[in-house]
Chains A and B, each alone.
Chain A
Amino acid sequence: MIRYTEKGIGLHRAVEAAGHWIRQQNGEWIVSDEHAVQAIVDAFTVADHAEAVIDEIEAHAKALLDRRAAGKSVVQIAKEPIKAVEADAITKGGSAPTLEVEATARGITVEELAAKVRAKIDVESVIVGVLGKHKDALRAMRSHAEVQSYDWRTGWPDV
């Protein structure tokens, strides 16, 4: 009988990646090859566990960022760096020709539009920052229990 130790879903993926399987059937863990799977279970480190969780977090962050870009044309996306630079320039008394055209068309001031642009960038920066915070925390952990109980679903902005 296999000695199963809880090491997260990443362990199960590692077993399958090695061409084996592990399954809890009617409450009992069964495996394709006891010795081979046991070796994988035993060799799955805390760092492996943490990286598997990080993969999930990165997928979550990517989904949030992709949602921010959903429905936009390539023209809009291509203009975003320009708008970001101009939004910053306005705070320093510089010019913002692209923002001025857009603000005029929209019927708001260029300062108001610049604030919206910065707010949007801030949200995206928060997503990337929260991702980095969780990655740092997980990579500093030294036990499977720590990794397993770590709640990475906190701190994300509403998108």
Chain B
Amino acid sequence: MAQAIGVGSYVRYGIFSQDGEPIEYGIGLLSDSTTLQRTRPSWTFVSGTVDDTAPSAVNLASGTKLVECVATAQSFLPTLPTARESSSNRLLLCAHTIYSSGNFRTMVANRVFYMPWYLASGREIASYGCIVTNLAASTKIRIGSYSVTPAGEIGNLFAEISADIDGGSTGFKTQSLSGGTKFHPPGQYVMACLSNGTPQLAANNANVNTRTGARMWFGTNAAIAVPQGFCNAREDVSSGWTSMPATPGTLTFESEANVFPHILVMVPA
């Protein structure tokens, strides 16, 4: 099965008793050649009762079971870089290619910065984060992602972190997503970041090139320079916010020099 579909792929699976009685259907991950992780059970059948309300995986009794797997469409999409997935940090990628420790964005109070992000293959995402390279005392940082409409515009809020990140100290910071780990289907997203002050944020530091797989579009050559600034959208919001806007308001589009990606995403441990 792993040879046919590929380790690391998500599959639609069904588990049956040896008599062919259904036990569980769902979406799972072929995490290695002999392991199917039941990531998202869709329906379970226990004692003749159907549970289709996002049930937990069935605690399987000992004995042989029959398992049927069908590759999902995303299984045929390119896989994402897996740099450092074995480490505790488990950073996957940033919203853009990044390179130098001098690449950062200085936030503006109560201003949402939006920037595009392409996710080549669906993944479970545990956290969003950033690196605070220069603190701003008593400030907070909020990060979220937005879907993209068929017209290519910024759509609804897709996911955001469950609590604010502290902008009052430096360092590499991550925060779990609201509602827990969330599957991100492949495709185009817009990542967004908001602060109530002026911390300076980055998506890398001196050793990031060996850590994040962030240069996903440009191979693995650490000597490739980043684009010198990029086009993004921004929006000013009222102070006192407690979460990202559910939908973007009036946007200003701009091309900024010497501004760099500053959001990281992290896969589950």
Binding site for B on A (CB under 8 A): 4, 6, 8-9, 11-13, 16-17, 21-27, 29-30, 32, 56, 59-60, 63, 148
Contact = CB atoms under 8 A, between A and B. Distances in A.
B133 A9 contact: yes
A22 B163 contact: no
B171 A12 contact: yes
Contacts of B207: 13, 16-17
A29 B170 CA distance: 11
Interface in B96-143: 101-102, 127, 131-135
A30 B175 CA distance: 13
Given A9-B134, A9-B205, A16-B206, A63 B258 contact: yes
B170 A12 contact: yes
Contacts of A8: 170
B158 interface: no
Given A9-B131, A63-B102, A148-B135, A24 B206 contact: no
Contacts of A13: 101, 205-207
Interface in B143-199: 162-163, 165-166, 169-176
A44 to B, nearest CB: 12
B170 A23 contact: no
Contact of B170 (A9, A25, A30): A9
B14 to A, nearest CB: 36
Nearest to B88: A32
Nearest to A53: B134
B119 to A, nearest CB: 22
Interface string B199-222: 000000111000000000000000
B127 A6 contact: no
Q: Which 4 A-B pairs have the closest CB atoms?
A: A24-B173, A59-B102, A16-B207, A9-B133
B145 to A, nearest CB: 18
B166 A24 contact: yes
